[in-house]
Structure 1
Amino acid sequence: MRQVLILFMSLVCYASFAQNVAYNPNKSKGKLYEYAQLAKAENGDININSILEDESNLKFTTLTSENQSVGFSTDNYWLTFDLENSSNTPEIYYLQTARPVTDVANLFQVANKNNITEFKSGDAIAFSERQVEHRKTIFKIELPKNSTQQFYLHLRSDGETLNLPLVLHTESQFWKSNYTEQLFLGFFYGLLFLATVVYLFFYTSLSNKTFLYYSIYVFSIALLQSALDGLIFQYLLPSAGFINDRAVLITALFSNFFLLKYCEYFLKVESISKTIKIAFKILYGIIIVLGVLLFINNETKAMVYPMSNVNGLMSLILILVTLFYSRYKDHKIDTFFSAGIFFLVIGLMGFVMNNLSLLPNNFVTLNSAKFGITFEVIFLSLSMTNLIKDLRLEKEESQMLALSKSEEVSELKSYFMSNISHELRTPINAIMGIAEDELDKILDPESKKNFEVIKHASLSLLSNINDILDFEKIEKGELKLRKEVFNPKEVVTQISKNWQRTAESKGLKYTLSISDSIPYKIEGDVERFTQVVNNVLSNAVKFTAYGKIVCAIKATEKENGLSEIIVNILDTGVGISTDKKLNVFNSFGQMRLNDKRSFGGVGLGLSIVKHLIDLFGGTITIDSDEGRGTNVSMKMEFKIIEQVNTKFKDSIAGVDINALKVLVVEDNLMNQMIMRKMLNNLSITDYKLAANGKEALYLLENNAFDIILMDLQMPIMDGYETTVIIRNNPPGNINKNIPIIAVTADATDTARQKVMDVGMNDYITKPVNRELLSRKINEHNKNVLKIA
């Protein structure tokens, strides 16, 4: 009991001492707060005069700590203390108090009741109105020599935590402390700015939202700290006002929101737990509600301060729970991320405990949030570096998978194109074979006309098929020209005959002019040359309703054994208007010109022609006017093989039926029939048919053949497999060097290359041209064929 009484008396004496003793910065023991008193003003209208006249009824009590806090409050508080200068010279001090975001901070220096000086600070007034234009709540105090001055400090906040530190600096101490803090703040905000820019750059490069949310979170943290430090007030909103009054809360809510979004994406919450995902959504909803309350009125704004702090604490707890749950479920959690969150929690806990006066007021505790955020940013940046590495590895794996899929799709596409070519050309081969066979017979005019229509329609269909198959290769730049020896006169004459019949059936006058300057044989891609001339002639006939069509071909001999073949095709058709000429070489240009319904066609003709002539290294020019017809001039260079015909015409006609033994390997019954007719017309009667490669091998073991005409796509054993066996491991007495000519409906480059790779000698596409077949057989069997 005696000890309690002594303690009570000590407190009474201490209170009396604090009330009656002035603080002398040079002589007094202890700190300023021990000589100061605090009172809460129940009446907000109290002013300095009412206090001095003892009319305020304020009850002052001693401060209990260096950084005493009254918590979240909108009340008015008054502090009082006396300062003594016992020297013979005036002294200047800087008083640091409250937080930079405190609304009202007014200091009254009382020499006597009639001599009162007021100094203003706080962020409810313009920055320029502060006594000391500094981001913190700073007052400059001048103490006259040999005097004691009484001071009253009026503080009020708008609901934010109100701290009551009283730190007195000499002028040199103040500026030294200020310089040290500027260095720290420069490093802190520089780090945040750098992290913001770097990870925003990563987001634009990688398009991963984790980087975007982290970048915005770091930026909002920088804004929050700059608001708490008074930097936004000093540099961005120096006129105070509505936004500045809410800057801390706005930036705090943004920081909270984007911290949650970043953690949600980084930790992949949606794949971890639906319950945790719902918890995140609830906190997002609370943040939105707090954002609305912030702008309703001052009363709701004051409520947001403690609620946003509680929500921030709940957010940290949820993030920690997510971390522990992820580890419990054996989900891989980056170590640096865990460390970053740990430092963030420690830093914010220090910040909150300092606000609640549970930790002493010093440089570390006042900046604990900054320290925590700094370490958090460093460690989270390291975790983001790991994320970049993981994304790179994942991207590499995705690229490998995409490459594998692309190769698979390419193989499927090649298979599809090969198959579609085979399936389309096979029936055309049969149709054209029968038509040509019938046209060789003596027919009445009506029947001959009908078979000519069938043949012409088949050729048109074949041309369209070629265009469609070539279109994709042209677009991808994969179409390549082949080198074959051919007679350009024969090619143009054959094409011309086909279109002459159609032109004359429309009542058009058709003229073909072939100059003697045309070489007898040239080297080039006969199929593409045919395609070029055929497509232009097709357009001429298609777009001409009356008048004439003239096809003229001539040649000019060039250096290095080259010949420039010039093909001119003139018509008196509808012509091309000036505006439509811009699209004349575009793919599906006819459809753009709305001519599809009037004239038909797939719309690829001139586009294919232009690409092919470019491949030939030639040129195409179109001279046309609407309603006056069109003149198309094409120039292509070819290597001259034989200028004039110095030999007898190649033929198999008249060959002894026993002179040539042919094995035809073909599964399609209709194509078997066509090959029979074609060989018979070539006077080749010693031939056998095999429906697949297995049958072919059996016939080769038991018969002697001079040449094989091999289809590619067959059941049981296809042409490729059969050729590989013949060339590498032939059974029995099969001649491994027997000439093999591929006769296939697969017109793709892939098939042509594969034919050569497996060891075949040549390649012919269906529909089979009789003259071409004759020439190919002749070329590969000169030792057994007799020239007619």
Structure 2
Amino acid sequence: MKKLVTIAAALCLVLGLKAQTTPFNYKHSKGQLYEYAEFANGGHERYAINKVIQDSVLQFKPLQSENQSVGFTSSHFWMRFLLENTDDETKTYFLQTARPITDEVDLYQITNGDIKHYKSGDQIPFNERQVSHRASVFKIKLSAKSSSTFYLHLKSDGETINLPLNLYTESEFLLVNNQQQLFLGIFYGLLLLAGFIYLFFYSSLLEKTFLYYSLYVFSIALLQASLDGLIFEYILPRGFLNSKAVLITALLSNFFLLKYCASFLKIKERLRVVHYGFQFIYGCLVVLFIMVLISPQTMELSYPLSNVNGLLSLLLILTALGIMYVKRIPVDTYFSFGILFLVIGLLGFVMNNLSMLPNNFVTLNSAKFGSGFEVIFLSLSMTNLIRKLREEKELSQEQALKKSQEISELKSYFMSNMSHELRTPINAIMGIAEEQLASLKTVEDKKNYELIKHASLSLLSSVNDILDYEKIEKNQLILREEAFNPFLSLTQISNNWEAQAQNKGLAYQLEISQDFPKNACGDADRFQQIINNILSNAVKFTTHGHICFKANWELLPDDKYLFSFIISDTGVGMDTKRKEHVFDSFSQMRLDNKRRFGGVGLGLNIVNHLVNLFNGKIRIDSIKGEGTQVTLELPMKAIINKSSEINNESKEKSIRNTVNILVVEDNVMNQMIMKKLLSKGDNITFEVVNNGAESIEALKKAKYHLILMDLQMPVMDGFEATKIIRSGEIGEQLINLPIIAVTADTMDKTRQKVFDLGMNDYMTKPVKFDLLIEKINQFRQAV
């Protein structure tokens, strides 16, 4: 037995620990534990510990270095050493060995014939490890005046196996572990920061070089996290991808490095021959990726091949740089330094694994140092790229201005399409809810459908606000003039919000003056939108108390109504600062970033704009914590000499004649809604077709008195079908056939286009039954 001179000697003298050799001759000791240990290759045979203890089973030989590598292998390796505690009390130590990605690491402690077995390794669940740590760590206890023989078993799936033996006291282990955690935190923090920054630049500039670089940095972080055991600890504790994480992340980092370099250096445009080399490496990466997934045997082979492929990739990049320097093609200096550090770091990592470099903090983490410096220098090169891109953008501003009109038209198309795509399903939902509410008898049965209806109305209001905001920005919002029933509009909106208020436990009061007009001329949709948005805010911002809605009117001398409304609540109220910005767009998000009350923050901004279009007035009085009162005045043309209510107009007209209607609609749900609505009308027959082309064929075969035409449909849309009908192509008698557009597109351009094509009327989805019957009866007289 020989006392250790450095680590082992210190442990012996201070802590009473001796490292002893098993019977073999060893060179002069420097005091490191590996000098007192032996290792053996067990091949592909998994021997039991009892068999290994027999010297005849395995041929042990001395370890040659402190971090000896046995290369890429799937064989079973064993190490053994003996420790003796010469002190009078039990001692505890931590043994750190193997690489964190070694699949299986077993420690056997043999004391007086008693064998204790501890587990660790990348394929061992944390709850089965003796020490729950990302690395292969064991906690060793040595009783007073005792010795123990230790056997270590290591097994991997083809990855490099290293044989380090680092013994620490508890305080030493905590210190080393904290230093490692600090280093890893700085390293991964740097990578993640760089990755997210350049991902942000990509989202802003849409330059693929930023995307490839960001993905490369993320893949490097994942690769190092796999090598450090962090992927196993936090992301993939088990499963199919767990054992393949190192290879997959290595292949991804290789791929994105090449893509980044090819994009940054513009290899395809500048170096055609080198570009083919890049394509070859891409093909190799695909093959290697497939090998990783096929079987354990092919995956084992892919470990060394992936390393070779990585070295070839670096050589290819260096070759490209060399050629560009020879051809005097400008190359960013920071980029060259970044690649140089990457090469140095990887070479240091490989040489350390092969025991060609001493085992210390720098060599063990050379790949991290190389990657870290590489990221710093490549990031500096990317800042130069940003500068160049900015200069190019400045030069292309004139061209961008020329394209602004095209972008504006595209935006209008998008808004029109969004209107159609959002309002179409809302139409179906509201139609079903309305039908069920009409058929169900009990309040309990109606409750869910009322919830659906109110939610749909709220969603529809938000959609309208978003679409209107775009019109307001372009100064394209124009009021329409049409006959409507303001009394019916008010009561319908009020009933909706009364139900919402009651659901919140609020008292709700509606006061409408006597003989409130039922006939007026103006923009009914905008009238309803103003009232709806103000009531919406009252209910939304009130958590207790009551809401009061008062509606009055007076007849002005110039045959106009002046509608006045007061909507008061006991809600949260506003202070003076908030009142100053209440009509600003997105005011809620600016003033209350917690978004406590929901909504898109456009309601009052749009209300204010609409009130001005009506030549009306709006005033808001509010006290924080006490409530808000909105006073509103809206002038509107009066319809004085009307014998009955407009909403009952359909009942006044003759309904003796049967009207045959052709419904042109591609959406199955909307077809169902239209069928149910028309089925409730008097003396109405109808046929449903799926698109404009089918409508043309139907008109050739049967006589129809009216067409309800959707606009956006496959095969042939409503615009094209209307052109054909109005042209007389399918018969002169059909040129003047009434056509009503029924669409989810609320854009003014679409409305104008409908009338320019010769359609007779225009309805938006969701379709209201009363309005539908009213418009049908307007054309029934011609039957």
TM-score normalized with structure 1 length: 0.51
Partner of 1:626: 779
Partner of 2:118: 119
Partner of 2:35: 34
- What is the CA deviation profile of residues 601-628 of structure 1, one whole-angstrom value per residue up to 9, with x for unaligned ones? xx9796599xxxxxxxxxxxx9993365
Q: 2:347, 2:710 → 1: CA distance?
A: 75
CA 1:149–1:406 in 2, change beyond 3 Å: closer, same or farther?
A: closer
Partner of 1:369: 367
- What is the CA deviation profile of residues 253-290 of structure 1, one whole-angstrom value per residue up to 9, with x for unaligned ones? 11111111111111111111221111001000001001
1:22–1:82 CA contact under 8 A, matched in 2: no
Aligned-residue offset at 1:399: 1.8
Partner of 1:770: none
Partner of 1:84: 84
Aligned-residue offset at 1:30: 1.0
Aligned-residue offset at 1:18: 4.4
Partner of 1:263: 261
Q: 2:39, 2:249 → 1: CA distance?
A: 32
Matched letter for residue 31 of structure 1: Q
Partner-residue secondary structure (3-state), 1:87: coil
**Equivalence map 1:446-465=2 (5 Å):** none
1:400 to 391, 398, 401: 398
Aligned-residue offset at 1:54: 3.4
Q: 2:60, 2:754 → 1: CA distance?
A: 100
**Equivalence map 1:118-157=2 (5 Å):** 118-157=117-156
1:84–1:148 CA contact under 8 A, matched in 2: yes
CA 1:236–1:43 in 2, change beyond 3 Å: closer, same or farther?
A: closer
- What is the CA deviation profile of residues 452-493 of structure 1, one whole-angstrom value per residue up to 9, with x for unaligned ones? xxxxxxxxxxxxxxxxxxxxxxxx999xxxxxxxxxxxxxxx
Q: 1:397, 1:606 → 2: CA distance?
A: 44
Q: 2:706, 2:378 → 1: CA distance?
A: 66
2:345–2:371 CA contact under 8 A, matched in 1: yes
Partner of 2:45: 44
2:191–2:375 CA contact under 8 A, matched in 1: yes
Partner-residue secondary structure (3-state), 2:153: strand
Q: 2:709, 2:52 → 1: CA distance?
A: 94
**Equivalence map 1:608-623=2 (5 Å):** none
**Equivalence map 1:143-542=2 (5 Å):** 143-238=142-237, 240-403=238-401
Aligned-residue offset at 1:127: 2.2
CA 1:190–1:599 in 2, change beyond 3 Å: closer, same or farther?
A: same
Partner-residue secondary structure (3-state), 2:140: strand
CA 1:334–1:582 in 2, change beyond 3 Å: closer, same or farther?
A: closer
- What is the CA deviation profile of residues 192-248 of structure 1, one whole-angstrom value per residue up to 9, with x for unaligned ones? 22222222222222222212211211111111111100011111222x343211110
Matched letter for residue 148 of structure 1: S
Say whether residues 1:596 and 2:597 are aligned partners: no
1:21–1:82 CA contact under 8 A, matched in 2: no
Q: 1:581, 1:124 → 2: CA distance?
A: 61
Partner-residue secondary structure (3-state), 1:187: helix
Matched letter for residue 370 of structure 1: K
Matched letter for residue 304 of structure 1: S
CA 1:385–1:50 in 2, change beyond 3 Å: closer, same or farther?
A: same
Percent identity among equivalent residues? 54
Matched letter for residue 596 of structure 1: S
- What is the CA deviation profile of residues 81-115 of structure 1, one whole-angstrom value per residue up to 9, with x for unaligned ones? 11121111111111111101111211111113x31
Q: 2:74, 2:148 → 1: CA distance?
A: 29
2:719–2:757 CA contact under 8 A, matched in 1: no
2:46–2:76 CA contact under 8 A, matched in 1: no
1:132–1:138 CA contact under 8 A, matched in 2: yes
Partner-residue secondary structure (3-state), 2:67: coil
CA 1:63–1:54 in 2, change beyond 3 Å: closer, same or farther?
A: closer
- What is the CA deviation profile of residues 657-698 of structure 1, one whole-angstrom value per residue up to 9, with x for unaligned ones? xxxxxxxxxxxxxxxxxxxxxxxxxxxxxxxxxxxxxxxxxx
2:84–2:147 CA contact under 8 A, matched in 1: yes
**Equivalence map 1:516-595=2 (5 Å):** 591=722, 594-595=725-726
**Equivalence map 1:703-714=2 (5 Å):** none
1:336–1:380 CA contact under 8 A, matched in 2: yes
Q: 2:41, 2:269 → 1: CA distance?
A: 53
Matched letter for residue 625 of structure 1: Q
Aligned-residue offset at 1:578: 9.1
Aligned-residue offset at 1:301: 0.9
Matched letter for residue 372 of structure 2: T
Matched letter for residue 22 of structure 2: Q
CA 1:17–1:404 in 2, change beyond 3 Å: closer, same or farther?
A: closer
Q: 2:24, 2:41 → 1: CA distance?
A: 22
Matched letter for residue 302 of structure 2: V
Aligned-residue offset at 1:330: 2.4
2:106–2:119 CA contact under 8 A, matched in 1: yes
Matched letter for residue 96 of structure 2: Q
Matched letter for residue 49 of structure 2: I
Partner-residue secondary structure (3-state), 2:122: coil
Stretch moving more, 384-393 or 222-231: 384-393
Q: Extract unaligned runs of 5+ from structure 1.
A: 1-15, 408-475, 479-555, 559-563, 565-573, 610-621, 630-788
Matched letter for residue 626 of structure 1: F
CA 1:93–1:330 in 2, change beyond 3 Å: closer, same or farther?
A: same
CA 1:305–1:406 in 2, change beyond 3 Å: closer, same or farther?
A: closer
1:67–1:164 CA contact under 8 A, matched in 2: yes
Matched letter for residue 342 of structure 2: L
Matched letter for residue 361 of structure 1: N
1:22–1:83 CA contact under 8 A, matched in 2: no
Aligned-residue offset at 1:182: 0.9
Tell me the matched-pair count. 443
- What is the CA deviation profile of residues 617-658 of structure 1, one whole-angstrom value per residue up to 9, with x for unaligned ones? xxxxx99933658xxxxxxxxxxxxxxxxxxxxxxxxxxxxx
Matched letter for residue 595 of structure 1: R
CA 1:39–1:604 in 2, change beyond 3 Å: closer, same or farther?
A: closer
Q: 1:557, 1:99 → 2: CA distance?
A: 91
- Rg larger in structure: 1
Partner of 2:484: none
Say whether residues 1:19 and 2:22 are aligned partners: yes
2:722–2:757 CA contact under 8 A, matched in 1: no
Q: 1:97, 1:367 → 2: CA distance?
A: 16
TM-score normalized with structure 2 length: 0.51
CA 1:594–1:354 in 2, change beyond 3 Å: closer, same or farther?
A: farther
Partner-residue secondary structure (3-state), 2:109: strand
CA 1:147–1:207 in 2, change beyond 3 Å: closer, same or farther?
A: same
CA 1:128–1:623 in 2, change beyond 3 Å: closer, same or farther?
A: closer
Matched letter for residue 174 of structure 1: F
CA 1:55–1:111 in 2, change beyond 3 Å: closer, same or farther?
A: same
- What is the CA deviation profile of residues 404-460 of structure 1, one whole-angstrom value per residue up to 9, with x for unaligned ones? 7999xxxxxxxxxxxxxxxxxxxxxxxxxxxxxxxxxxxxxxxxxxxxxxxxxxxxx
Q: 1:337, 1:380 → 2: CA distance?
A: 5
Partner-residue secondary structure (3-state), 1:242: coil
CA 1:596–1:166 in 2, change beyond 3 Å: closer, same or farther?
A: same
- Please give the root-mean-square deviation of Cα atoms over the aligned residues, in Å: 4.1
